[in-house]
């Protein structure tokens, strides 16, 4: 229990996750409305859009307009996602965005072969090009991430040793390019983790790299998101990605219809009930969860927006 | 980690929970179909019906026919719920049912006043009557339960000390009537618990009564069910109530539309992924979760029946 943090930082990913995966068209104004509403909840970081190929991700065709349109609030970092140089340049074009580089590796070769037509070795080698690109554009690189760190739909089990191999590759690349890695994000990309697995993988990374802050990116594909977050807290993890209302979903065919990222307000509910601060106004966040449902036009998976928080019942 | 059990016993409550709370009429034959399907999953205990006033719970008007109709499978205990002598007599009328008595107390006075028009003291006093009734009918009493053990919609916080008061009252009654209490069920009746609260309450009960087996009855009202079950495992809890598909719901007005009991197949998924045995065939149980959805005619909250198990992806 002693490792449980006193303050947890949440990176809200709902706008990007939700806008990217929804079937129908969401008006740009409503996307902006959601980001502005999130800005008023006390969240410190919001991922707004991804700059990707609009032919492949039509829901992100208006990414630049969305970024143009929202009203930045002081103290909030607005981030974006990109997959290549073109996307990065589009992100850099807007000064509202907080741009940081990351060394991103994947712990499953089958996943890489299927999604990026690369082996693990080729993926590591390709990072040098991304690092050069970040440097050319004056982008600070202080993060690393390991995708599929807890299992993979294509490969099956991902041994802890394979995650540690990717960790070492990140740290070697960072040392070679003189980059101080402050944070490592471990992603349960396909929702394979259970709490015991979180303890094992986070424990191994923490033991080998005690100076690095660990962040968790958890998917709720099989309903384990909140339990996995709790296991992360037990291991001292104090940074989590989450999506308001449970916006988003699962892009993998094998899990069609399944939930996406762990739901922000459910996570914040648990944190506050455990006495862990987040700086977030839960009641406002629940309202934004309901707004998100209204925007996408169908029920979203989060539970607290249905069950209600407890603050009113305490008085 | 050392306290985590190697085998977990699940008391399936889906039929009783689901049939009781659903709005429309569910044909008796389909209720029987669900119980028979559950009997083939490896579950060792299934709560089938509640013998309650059909004027108040119309969905249970055919309870006797349901019990009459299902095909008992060797090794499975079929249980029922009752609230008074009349209900108990109806349950005793069918030899298929496994009948055990329980000393049931509630840790919230406001809940008792609201639901049973009784104070905590009156509720304790009333147990003598129930004990006499069980004894008259030759029913073994070896269980106790504490409802609202983690918080209450009407009262707010429930201090650990109040739970311990109820525990002592159960043990005093048991001693007075020479009843060996083997199991205590702690119920999060209104879905207030978070993992840290589970550790605290279960820890206190376990420390005071190390010889008693603790069972958890968890509600998923605010999405904490699986995380709370995990915290229970960490405290050595090896018996859980659950409902297939997440059947049932929340009978409290303040949580209209919220989820009910923790979902059986999501819980079994976590247990198996942690290497904990249950004797249950997860793939079959997932099929029964889908059958339950078909029977009630609307989506049920469980996640694994959407996200899928991992066994197929491992090959």
SS3 call for A228: helix
pLDDT digits (tens, 9 = 90+) for A117-153: 999 999 999 999 999 999 999 999 999 999 999 999 9
Q: What are the residue numbers of the active site of B? A: 250
Give Cβ neighbours of residue B129 (< 8 Å, ≥ 6 apart): none
Measured between beta carbons, which residues in chain B are less than 8 angstroms from residue A220?
A: 303
User: In terms of domains, do B51 and B104 share one?
Assistant: no
In chain A, the largest separation of any two C-alpha atoms, in whole Å, equals: 59
User: In terms of domains, do B81 and B105 share one?
Assistant: no
Q: Is residue A279 part of a domain?
A: yes
Q: What is the ipTM of this complex?
A: 0.94
Distance (Å) from the alpha carbon of A187 to chain B's nearest alpha carbon: 17
Q: Is residue A299 part of a domain?
A: yes
Name the residue range of residue B292's domain.
1-99+243-315
- For residue A211, count CB atoms less than 10 angstroms from its CB and return exposed for 0-12, middle for 13-18, buried for 19 or more: exposed
pLDDT digits (tens, 9 = 90+) for B159-197: 999 999 999 999 999 999 999 999 999 999 999 999 999
Q: Is residue A215 part of a domain?
A: no
Q: Is residue B104 part of a domain?
A: yes
The answer to whether the Cβ–Cβ distance between A223 and B302 falls below 8 Å is yes
Q: Is residue B143 part of a domain?
A: yes
Q: CATH no. for residue A23? A: 3.20.20.70
Total tally of structural domains belonging to chain B:
2
The closest CB to that of A273, out of B194, B226, B259, belongs to B194
Distance (Å) from the alpha carbon of A106 to chain B's nearest alpha carbon: 18
User: In terms of domains, do B92 and B150 share one?
Assistant: no
The 3 state secondary structure assigned to B63-119 is HHHHHHHCCCCCCCEEEEEECCHHHHHHHHCCCCECCCEEEEEECCHHHHHHHHCCC
What chain A residue is nearest to B262 in terms of C-alpha separation?
A223
Q: Distance (Å, rounded) from C-alpha B285 to C-alpha B44?
A: 13
The closest CB to that of B222, out of A199, A257, A269, belongs to A269
Q: Distance (Å, rounded) from C-alpha A103 to C-alpha B127?
A: 64
Measured between beta carbons, which residues in chain B are less than 8 angstroms from residue A258?
A: 303, 306-308
The angle formed by the CA atoms of residues A309, A189 and A103, to the nearest 5 degrees, is 115
CB atoms under 10 Å from CB of B76, counted, come to 18
What burial letters (b/e) apply to A252-267, b meaning 16+ CB within 10 Å? beebeebbbbbbbbbb
Is the separation of the CB atoms in B59 and B51 below 8 Å? Answer: no
Measured between beta carbons, which residues in chain A are less than 8 angstroms from residue B264?
A: none
User: In terms of domains, do B85 and B36 share one?
Assistant: yes
pLDDT at B237: 98
pLDDT digits (tens, 9 = 90+) for A265-281: 999 999 999 999 999 99
Please spell the DSSP secondary structure of B114-156, one letter per residue.
Answer: HHHS--HHHHHHHHHHHHHHHHHTT--EEEEEEETBTBBTTTB
Measured between beta carbons, which residues in chain A are less than 8 angstroms from residue B230?
A: 195, 227, 230-231
Q: Is residue A115 part of a domain?
A: no
User: In terms of domains, do B163 and B258 share one?
Assistant: no
Closest CA to A67 of A82, A56, A55, A84: A82
Share of chain A above pLDDT 90, in %: 88
What chain B residue is nearest to A276 in terms of C-alpha separation?
B196
Residue B256 pLDDT greater than 90, yes or no: no
The angle formed by the CA atoms of residues A72, A76 and A82, to the nearest 5 degrees, is 85
The closest CB to that of A302, out of B191, B220, B223, belongs to B223
Distance (Å) from the alpha carbon of A140 to chain B's nearest alpha carbon: 37
Q: Is residue B81 part of a domain?
A: yes
Q: Is residue A237 part of a domain?
A: no
pLDDT digits (tens, 9 = 90+) for B45-81: 999 999 999 998 899 999 999 999 999 999 999 999 9
Q: Distance (Å, rounded) from C-alpha B232 to C-alpha B207?
A: 14
How large is the average pLDDT for residues A15-36? 92
pLDDT digits (tens, 9 = 90+) for B105-152: 999 999 999 988 999 999 999 999 999 999 999 999 999 999 999 999
User: In terms of domains, do B116 and B200 share one?
Assistant: yes
User: In terms of domains, do B115 and B199 share one?
Assistant: yes
The answer to whether the Cβ–Cβ distance between A231 and B230 falls below 8 Å is yes
pLDDT at A266: 98
């Amino acid at each position: 229990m002693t490792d449980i943090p006193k303050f947890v930082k949440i990176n809200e990913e709902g706008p990007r996750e939700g806008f990217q995966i929804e079937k129908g068209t969401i008006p740009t104004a409503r996307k902006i409305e959601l980001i502005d509403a999130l800005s008023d909840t006390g969240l410190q970081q919001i991922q707004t859009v991804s700059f990707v190929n609009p032919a492949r991700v039509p829901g992100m065709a208006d990414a630049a307009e969305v970024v143009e349109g929202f009203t930045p609030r002081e103290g909030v970092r607005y981030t974006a996602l990109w997959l290549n140089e073109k996307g990065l340049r589009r992100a850099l074009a807007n000064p509202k965005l907080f741009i940081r580089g990351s060394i991103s590796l994947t712990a499953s070769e089958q996943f890489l072969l299927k999604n990026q037509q690369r082996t693990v070795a080729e993926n590591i080698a390709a990072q040098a090009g991304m690092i050069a690109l970040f440097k050319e554009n004056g982008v600070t690189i202080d993060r690393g991430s390991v995708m599929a760190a807890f299992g993979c739909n294509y490969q099956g089990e991902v041994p802890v040793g394979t995650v540690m191999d990717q960790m070492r590759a990140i740290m070697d690349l960072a040392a070679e390019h003189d980059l101080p890695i402050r944070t490592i994000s471990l992603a349960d990309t396909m929702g394979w983790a259970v709490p015991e697995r979180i303890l094992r993988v986070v424990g191994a990374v923490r033991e080998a790299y005690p100076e690095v802050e660990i962040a968790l990116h958890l998917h709720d594909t099989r309903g384990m998101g909140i339990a996995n977050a709790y296991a992360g807290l037990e291991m001292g993890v104090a940074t989590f990605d989450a999506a308001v209302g449970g916006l988003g979903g699962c892009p993998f065919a094998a899990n069609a219809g399944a939930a996406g990222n762990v739901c922000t307000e459910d996570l914040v509910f648990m944190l506050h009930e455990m006495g862990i601060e987040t700086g977030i106004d839960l009641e406002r966040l629940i309202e934004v969860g309901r707004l998100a449902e209204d925007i996408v036009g169908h029920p979203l998976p989060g539970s607290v927006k249905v069950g209600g928080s407890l603050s009113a019942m305490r008085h």
